[in-house]
Chain A
Amino acid sequence: MTTSAPLGLNKTGAQMSPEDTKRQIEATEQFGPDVPGDVTRITEERIKFIREHEAIDEQIGSVPPPGSVKGVLKTGLDKMMGKNPELLLDKLGERLAYERTGVRLYEAFIAKVMAAPDARPELLGKLREIQVEEAEHMLLLKKSIETLGADPTTMTPCAHVSGTMAQGIIQVLTDPRTNMAQCLNAMLTIELADNAAWELLIELARQANHPNIASSFEEPMRREEEHLATIKTLLRDELKVQLS
């Protein structure tokens, strides 16, 4: 894998064809817009649709109630206490999905590293280590969800939305043409969001009166901080190598 994008004949910019650009601008002057208004027409339309969904309380999906009796009792108790167990379940589901996809993202990234002509064994080792930890975190979350009597195989709404966000990252990592720095940048996005999310999840678990779950997340949180630092360093080194 090459480390940086080469100089070349990128054809997307207007300056690549100044004569054409001149003619295109001339056309916009001769044939102006036929519909009055601006981008706010789109905003107004979006508001209309959002309100239509809100009016019938329709969201992207729901959190199923916990299946086991023990779980029902527990979450029922929390509800009486003014807690919002579905929020915690939704966010636990999101973290589980994120870590699970993370294992696959590292697999795609590892293929990139292995394909490089100067494949560095210590880097590969480090990435495999992170990947194993992502899988461990996934299993810890599975256990936490089961403790609450809920189903860890459910795709909760937040899990689904975070999966939608990850689509672009998957495209970047699996494209055979992307380089190391581009892939590290994609992983940085993942790890940055992961870090903030673990921090928030611990706070949520505490607030929802699940101190055991909260404290069990402290070690993963520390590990994730290390993942972030590692990816950041790798990216910095990669870019410095390209500049040197």
Chain B
Amino acid sequence: MDTFSGLLDLKGTPLDKQRFTWREMATRPISKLDDDATTRIRIILMNGIETEALRLKHIGARFHRELQPHLAHIRRVEQHQATAINWLISGDHSPLETTIAYEQVAIEVTAAVAQNEPDPYQAQSYRFGLLEDFDHLYRYSAMYDRLEGKDPNNILQGYTDIIPGRPTSQHHRNPSDDLRDSYDKTTAQLITKIHAAMITSSEYQTHDYYMNIGNTFADPVARALYAEIASVEEQHVTQYESLMDASETFMEKWLVHEAMEVYAYASCAEQEENPRIKALWERFLDYELGHLEFASDLFKKYERRDPAEVLVGALPKMRPLKRNRDFVRETLSKEVDLRAHGIDYVPKEKEDKASLDYRNHLNSEGIPADIASAGYVWTPGTELFRKP
């Protein structure tokens, strides 16, 4: 497997040289029509990672007064990085179009991660979540086609299939069935830690996005659909964050997060075809190397340990964030009927009664995802182009 070698040892931009103007942050957005869908995938992924960087450091600051000035300093840069990235999404994306793009991110990134993940249990967890986000894409696509009268593939550009996955109506589980076993921080490979931090970031962003825009729809069917899928995204955050070792100290998690950002920007820079956006990924890769060095120095000072203890293992290159359809279809064929019982994945028949009761009650007055997608078959040009 092709790896990044010596990536984390590179010298970056010192923190005090990481400056922005408003013009740089609110710059020219990408074209919804002409830019490649994978550029938008990377933009959404990196915004999710930057907003999680802020979140993690805010939580850390509440527990560590001595770190507060350092965290405040680094967070300001991350706020501006997140802005420069997220403002690349043009204003002509409707909320449903952005939603479809978010689900494409969830599918393509999770599929890429699941194939690279060396820990079998963690990889299984990614495949489990993947089939649910895959189903969300289908439900939202039906909603988009039937609400706006537009083709979801205008956003997906052929890279991702639009078919049912594990049905959304079956995703609703008792909270205890959303928790997973975690990696062991002393034995886990760095890439395992990076994957968990990356997918948690992405899912958190998706959850927050649905919670913010779900109520901006007038259509009661769309409002209900967002309510339903936002709840599943909260389950996904619960699942993915529990993949991380809860015995890691805040500073260990901080180091992993910075290493993950370096890895993610390096991967984006490597895969990006739009030269202007590629330059941004390269600039921010240098910024993240600066952040990693900053965090490493503080780790040595406060924990009196070598950061290398936390960051052990090779970094396999990220797989392309498109056309993971063969992997997704294979997973779908083999694992669509898996369910969660506690931290275990079990056949449908062995599902936890608590989850069944929980789900039956939620679904007892109608299932928004079913209503939105009844009989939906994606067709190029919308289902209205479908021959009778």
Report A's interface with B, CB cutoff 8 A.
8-14, 16-17, 19-21, 23-25, 27-28, 30-39, 41-42, 45-46, 49, 171, 175, 177
Instruction: Please determine whether B161 and A45 come into contact, CB atoms closer than 8 angstroms.
Output: no
CB-defined contacts of A20 to chain B, threshold 8 Å: 157-159, 323
Interchain CB contact (< 8 A) of A8 among B34, B161, B378: B34
Known contacts A16-B157, A35-B375, A36-B375; decide if A11 and B34 are in contact (CB<8 Å). yes
Shortest B170–chain A CB gap in Å is 10
B146 at the interface (CB under 8 A from A): yes
Bound CA–CA A41/B153 (angstroms): 23
CB-defined contacts of B164 to chain A, threshold 8 Å: 31, 33-34
- B residues 294-332 near A (Cβ < 8 Å) are 323, 325, 329, 332
Shortest A40–chain B CB gap in Å is 8
Bound CA–CA A12/B375 (angstroms): 24
B347 at the interface (CB under 8 A from A): no
Known contacts A20-B159, A27-B163, A175-B92; decide if A41 and B33 are in contact (CB<8 Å). no
Contacts across chains A and B counted by CB atoms under 8 Å: 111
Instruction: Please determine whether B220 and A24 come into contact, CB atoms closer than 8 angstroms.
Output: no
Stretch of B4-12, B50-58, B204-212, B365-373 at the chain-chain interface: B365-373
Instruction: Please determine whether B161 and A24 come into contact, CB atoms closer than 8 angstroms.
Output: yes
Indicate the member of B37, B167, B374 with the most A CB atoms within 10 Å: B374
Instruction: Please determine whether A28 and B162 come into contact, CB atoms closer than 8 angstroms.
Output: yes
CB-defined contacts of B153 to chain A, threshold 8 Å: 12, 14, 21, 24
Interchain CB contact (< 8 A) of B36 among A8, A11, A21, A171: A11
Given contacts A27-B162, A27-B325, 8 further A-B contacts (CB under 8 A): A10-B34, A11-B36, A12-B32, A28-B161, A28-B377, A31-B163, A38-B374, A171-B91
Instruction: Please determine whether B325 and A11 come into contact, CB atoms closer than 8 angstroms.
Output: no
Bound CA–CA A243/B34 (angstroms): 23
Shortest B325–chain A CB gap in Å is 6
CB-defined contacts of A31 to chain B, threshold 8 Å: 163-164, 329, 332
Instruction: Please determine whether B161 and A14 come into contact, CB atoms closer than 8 angstroms.
Output: no
Nearest B residue to A50 by beta-carbon distance? B220
Instruction: Please determine whether A14 and B380 come into contact, CB atoms closer than 8 angstroms.
Output: yes
CB-defined contacts of B167 to chain A, threshold 8 Å: 34-35
Instruction: Please determine whether A33 and B376 come into contact, CB atoms closer than 8 angstroms.
Output: yes
Bound CA–CA A38/B381 (angstroms): 17
Nearest B residue to A53 by beta-carbon distance? B220
B66 at the interface (CB under 8 A from A): no
What are 9 sample pairs from A and B whose C-beta atoms fall under 8 A apart? A10-B34, A16-B157, A24-B378, A32-B163, A33-B374, A35-B374, A37-B374, A39-B374, A175-B90
CB-defined contacts of B270 to chain A, threshold 8 Å: none
Instruction: Please determine whether B157 and A17 come into contact, CB atoms closer than 8 angstroms.
Output: yes
Nearest B residue to A20 by beta-carbon distance? B158
CB-defined contacts of A33 to chain B, threshold 8 Å: 164, 373-377
Interchain CB contact (< 8 A) of A12 among B90, B154, B379: B154
Instruction: Please determine whether B35 and A11 come into contact, CB atoms closer than 8 angstroms.
Output: yes
Known contacts A28-B377, A33-B375, A33-B376; decide if A45 and B329 are in contact (CB<8 Å). no
Nearest A residue to B377 by beta-carbon distance? A28
Shortest A37–chain B CB gap in Å is 3
CB-defined contacts of B224 to chain A, threshold 8 Å: 45
B16 at the interface (CB under 8 A from A): no
Bound CA–CA A232/B363 (angstroms): 52
Bound CA–CA A9/B325 (angstroms): 24
Instruction: Please determine whether A23 and B374 come into contact, CB atoms closer than 8 angstroms.
Output: no
CB-defined contacts of A37 to chain B, threshold 8 Å: 374-375
Shortest B69–chain A CB gap in Å is 39
Interchain CB contact (< 8 A) of B161 among A19, A27, A38: A27
Instruction: Please determine whether A28 and B378 come into contact, CB atoms closer than 8 angstroms.
Output: yes
Nearest A residue to B384 by beta-carbon distance? A39
Shortest B161–chain A CB gap in Å is 4
